[in-house]
Amino acid sequence: MDKQSSPIFQAMQQYSADGALAFHTPGHKQGLGAYSLLKDLITTEGLRCEVSLMEELDDLHTPQTCIKEAQSLAAELWHSDEVFFMINGTTSAVQAMIMSSLEPNDLVLVPRNAHRCVMSGLILSGARPVYLSPAFDSEFEITLNLTVESVEEAIEQYPQAKALIIVSPNYYGVAADLTKIADLLHEHGMLLLVDEAHGAHLHFSNRLPVSAIDAGADMSAQSTHKLLGSLTQTSMLMVKSKLIDVERVRRTVSLLQSTSPNYLLLASLDIARLQMQQNGTELIERAINLSQNLRQAIQNIDGLKTFDSVNGFNLDLTKVSVNVNELGLTGAEAEKILRHKYKIQCELSDLNNLLFLVTYADTDTEIDKLISALKKLTSHKTSNYIKKINNSSFLIHNSSLKLTPREAFYAKTSTVKLDDSINEICAEEVTFYPPGVPILYPGEVITEEIVNYIKTNKKINSHLIGAADTSLNTIKIIRN
């Protein structure tokens, strides 16, 4: 294999250059019938290569040539035994990770701040979750991660559990001690499954938390598009374990992926790998240096403070969280000011913080513009903000699970007013996005604390997904 090549892209070019007259999908016939706006969006060359399943192009579901080679190159680069290219997002990678390693009614340990894709994996697999409480930072009101001690306690309490699913690093860049957790789980015959959506870049710097595979995880799902250079919706599922049935993983991946994969997406994964193969360490180190410069500058801005270190956890330095409480603003208000007045868009805001991602694409120019905008943000300081509720503290409560997500998904439901739902069993997912962490899982008991938190987020117009009533004046419950 040529590590300096891009097998999928080269195969696409080979078919395009062959000049075969197209009597096959897609309907635009290599761009010949494409509308002008589509040509502007994708380019003529991109449309010409936008074909699939010809003999040069291999088959994602039974790869033998260019896709197989591209996946093998990625596996070698990230120190994995197997890599599966995913074109249905990291959601499908997490679903495949869960479905291929667990069976119906298997007990699985899950942190309460897991992304909503974990819930969908639990519904599909029929596994029975035990929700664990992550640590919490009361100053920034940010949910952190699972401690080694909390995992050890869970293993002692639930020795029959088959696996731990953990999100590391989380959206704010807080990473668990995966090396110790992996050793602990493996001593008890349990699997470590890592939702590493925000960690595709970790492997390329020893100044960042250790990557899941390097730490000893059995499987890891990475969003290559989030912090590296592939197209949105593309991810990689990595396997490195004698405890995993790779053929079952392959069948599960095939079950969850489109039978008409877009080769522009597949090629972007291959090209992102090539970019990291050639310059990965240099690019990621530059991003870290820029993020450190940003942090230092913010520390000199009155009214702002950055989330820089966490006792007992590692932090992805390229995630820069900025607390705006001293300005009297909510995170949502600060985000709106930056976006519309200073043309700066953050990754997310919560009640108290803004999150900025610094990637290999950034330079001093972009960082200087951000610093300038943050300095101007302080001129909007107000005394009107009254703190209503901890941003994420409800995530560390002891969840009361009455039904598994799968049982709740198929149960008969009723609709009640939100205020009348306290102590009822939730029948649907309630998630504010970002960060995409469910406030309520199907099958959980609705508490007064959660109802109050929902009302607070509604007041600041957080984006709601999952619930049938998007205003959340009503909510679906399960009775009897």
Whole-number pLDDT of residue 399: 61
Quote the distance between the C-alpha of residue 235 and its chain's center.
10
- CATH number, domain of 452, equals 3.90.100.10
Domain that holds residue 130: 60-265
Q: How many CB atoms lie within 10 A of CB 140?
A: 22
* Same domain membership, residue 67 and residue 14: no
Which among 352, 380, 408 is the end of a domain? 380
* Same domain membership, residue 154 and residue 205: yes
Whole-number pLDDT of residue 434: 64
Which among 265, 294, 319 is the end of a domain? 265
DSSP collapsed to 3 states, 321-370: EEECHHHCCCHHHHHHHHHHHCCCCCCEECCCEEEEECCCCCCHHHHHHH
* Same domain membership, residue 203 and residue 87: yes
* Same domain membership, residue 245 and residue 120: yes
* Same domain membership, residue 339 and residue 234: no
In a domain? residue 271 = no
Whole-number pLDDT of residue 351: 83
Ranges of residues in the chain with a pLDDT under 70 are 384-399, 434, 436, 460-462, 480
- CATH number, domain of 284, equals 3.90.1150.170
In a domain? residue 172 = yes
Q: How many CB atoms lie within 10 A of CB 295?
A: 17
Instruction: Please name the amino acid found at residue 431.
Output: T
* Same domain membership, residue 186 and residue 213: yes
Whole-number pLDDT of residue 398: 54
In a domain? residue 390 = no
Whole-number pLDDT of residue 144: 92
Pairing mode, strands 128-132 and 314-315:
unpaired
Distance CA 298, CA 287 (A): 17
* Same domain membership, residue 245 and residue 135: yes
* Same domain membership, residue 228 and residue 170: yes
Whole-number pLDDT of residue 387: 52
In a domain? residue 18 = yes
* Same domain membership, residue 53 and residue 3: yes
Entry pTM: 0.92
List pLDDT tens digits, range 16-73. Answer: 898 888 888 889 999 999 999 999 999 999 999 998 878 889 999 999 999 999 999 9
8 A C-beta contact, residue 303 and residue 324: yes
* Those residues with Cβ within 8 angstroms of residue 37's Cβ, 6 or more apart along the chain or in another chain: none
Whole-number pLDDT of residue 215: 98
Give the count of domains, the chain: 4
List pLDDT tens digits, range 380-395. Answer: 998 765 554 444 445 5
